[in-house]
């Protein structure tokens, strides 16, 4: 083989080696770039899902806050309705008791019950009987006539604050059978009025 032929063969070998090397380098570069792209895509997808989850979390928190606010307003409105119901019920009950005191028959039973309660609960000592202005104190004698024990005539005191009923005191103890006294157990009466009102509402549905 001549010198020219050997030189040509060497140049061809160099060209082949260069082509193979370039192809290998390009393949490795493409693989590395593909890895970078896949990693970047995965990170972007993760950030997207994380952002979406955070967005959903914030939206859920806002929804819960809104629901809590609505529930608080609803409870407040319900309480206002309940208070109005109780207030109307107490006013109606007070008017009904005053009407019963104004009626002779029911007033007599009222006085008899007050006298019996006082005789059972009050110990010795003079009784002081507070009553509405204008009430005929002679009715008291009829009220105590049926008691199994003898009761001395009390000291009668007219009280402008009493619209119906009587309040009897002796030795520091009191039997309050006035309208205000009978309505004095506000929480219990309010609860009963509300329960009766709600029960009536359920019966109408």
Tell me whether residue 175 is in a domain.
Answer: yes
Tell me whether residue 80 is in a domain.
Answer: no
Tell me whether residue 28 is in a domain.
Answer: no
β-sheet bridge partners, residue 166: 177
Tell me whether residue 173 is in a domain.
Answer: yes
Tell me whether residue 79 is in a domain.
Answer: no
Residue whose pair of structure tokens reads 């309940």 in the numeric block: 82
pLDDT digits (tens, 9 = 90+) for 161-174: 999 999 999 988 99
Where in the sequence is the domain holding 149, given as residue range(s)? 103-187
Lateral strand order in the sheet of 128-131: 155-158, 128-131, 165-170, 173-178
pLDDT digits (tens, 9 = 90+) for 79-122: 666 666 666 767 777 888 888 899 998 999 999 889 888 888 88
Tokens of 50: 């994380």
Tell me whether residue 179 is in a domain.
Answer: yes
pLDDT of residue 123: 77
pLDDT digits (tens, 9 = 90+) for 144-203: 887 877 778 889 999 999 999 999 999 889 998 888 888 876 555 445 544 555 555 444
Q: Which residues contact 155 (CB under 8 A, 6 or more apart)?
A: 126, 127, 128, 129
Q: Which residues contact 109 (CB under 8 A, 6 or more apart)?
A: none
Q: What 3-state class would DSSP assign to 129?
A: strand
Tell me whether residue 193 is in a domain.
Answer: no
Q: Name the pTM for this structure.
A: 0.52
Q: What 3-state class would DSSP assign to 16?
A: helix
Write down the number of H helices and E strands in the chain: 5, 4
The arithmetic mean of pLDDT across residues 41-52, rounded, is 75
pLDDT of residue 12: 65
């Amino acid at each position: 083989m001549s010198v020219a032929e050997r030189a040509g063969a060497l140049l061809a070998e160099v060209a082949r080696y260069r082509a193979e090397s370039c192809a290998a380098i390009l393949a490795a570069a493409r693989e590395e770039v593909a890895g970078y792209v896949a990693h970047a895509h995965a990170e972007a997808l993760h950030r997207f899902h994380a952002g979406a989850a955070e967005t959903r979390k914030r939206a859920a928190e806002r929804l819960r806050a809104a629901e809590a606010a609505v529930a608080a307003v609803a409870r407040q409105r319900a309480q206002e309705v309940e208070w109005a119901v109780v207030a109307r019920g107490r006013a109606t009950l007070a008017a009904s008791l005053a009407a019963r005191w104004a009626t002779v028959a029911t007033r007599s039973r009222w006085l008899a019950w007050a006298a019996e309660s006082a005789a059972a609960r009050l110990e010795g000592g003079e009784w002081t009987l507070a009553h509405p202005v204008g009430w005929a104190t002679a009715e008291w004698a009829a009220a105590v006539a049926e008691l199994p024990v003898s009761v001395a005539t009390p000291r009668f005191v007219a009280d402008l604050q009493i619209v119906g009923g009587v309040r009897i005191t002796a030795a520091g103890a009191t039997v309050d059978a006035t309208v205000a006294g009978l309505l004095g157990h506000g929480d219990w009466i309010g609860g009963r009025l509300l329960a009766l009102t709600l029960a009536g509402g359920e019966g109408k549905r």
